[in-house]
Structure 1
């Protein structure tokens, strides 16, 4: 794997990525006698690992995937530009989705909001159920749903830029912001906790290796060490990804709900649609999670295996 990563970051690969072209590495790999070495696509790895290839329309390309592709060649300005484009694309898609609900409300305003919400969500629920079944699907969908609900509530309780009252400004809006900060702190803490767990697992494993008397026993312990560490490594990666998703969707929600090109009434209906969508996503994620395996190590190994297959597939785009 290290060799494949090295080939994927050769000058030819870096230049091709800068031009936005796909690089197969055959010519350059051949020069160094690496023609038969499979080339690892880091963007594909992270996208499949966290299911974001299926959820591209909701979260875009994860920053982990972008950084893995560009490596140290990506400047801060370029990173900001890519992130801005990501947020704009997501905002356009989300606004179009929410406007389906808004148009339903405008078409038959005499009907109850609950009827429009049910019709809107019934059309999207099959997609949500499919997304929940992907790698990390339940946690990704729950995270997206939570972000949507928070942004909707923040708008609906904002008396200045949204539709809230002055009481909301002092109580409900503050509560939402505190929840967002708490979530960010929790993600950071989880990443640190996962790092500590990795070190503790390795330390315990090394103590067992030191007591081993045969090569076979040492090899078996090393294999077990890798399997034991893997869930903690993925947990740390997920915590980083979670921060990325929260920040991105916060900006996306702001763009959609503070869109000056549409009326305030439409923005208010978008916020209601976003709240309904977020709640449905969380419910689907929760229901799916109850039927999936709770074996963390087994799930982690399977997730990494699937991600590696995609990363080594030359046809993956």
Structure 2
């Protein structure tokens, strides 16, 4: 296709992309038509698996491991895919998402629950699209948007639909005795050191998100000026992705962090078991792309993290991804505190007394 001029124009590229995706969907329908019942989400995950392989191809070509596959598409289709942010995004899709899809599909056909894994992907994918689409529009590639760029719209909407379907499905709760639930929910936050530490880390994440939100909004304070020029100059990269990401953190992640702290303090918040997974996926994806892009050779040298400021910048960025993951792990390894409160008189000890 690199050598076929007719296929290197914007509209033919869009049409060709739609035909390829439609062909993949048709092949999937023919492959599983003999099955008595197929979960509709199977088609979404399988279709996305194909796009993940395309993303991995792009990442490998941009980093020089392969060549001759994506040149025409980047030139006439989506030139922003050559940026460091898009390369890191493509690696995430081509490795993490692809492995996740394969395991989810395996669980589907084995009759195992995949609800939590699906929510992990939904959080990751929604965060990816929320940063990617506005970042392209407001960044330096906004004046060079081609028709094929708008193929991202269905890929933006589908994860929301998947998330709504999964959130509405029944959550499989572990078997926990009523006495254990009551005992855990009687403990205050100070009596739960792990939860106390997680709460403090979440508060630190909130402060860091607010600070960097002010930084990208050109706050005139000296500390903001010093940070963006001497510590994390990637925040002013004209590609637009880092600025959009910091605003997403400020206006979306910040309220959710507040709610998660409330959930750690208040017993019986069963929604924590779902939302912590969703949020962990979102933060892992965005921080992987942000950290990787700020260090990648495709980012101009002036916007990369200075070598002498590496640890002060990378450490809080890694924690910003790790804390939600640790919170999700804590909620699922010991969920008693987050389960519905036991009605009075229903514990085993109270029944014995009667």
Higher relative contact order (CA 8 A, sep 6+): 1
TM-score (norm 1): 0.32
Per the normalisation by structure 2, the TM-score is: 0.30
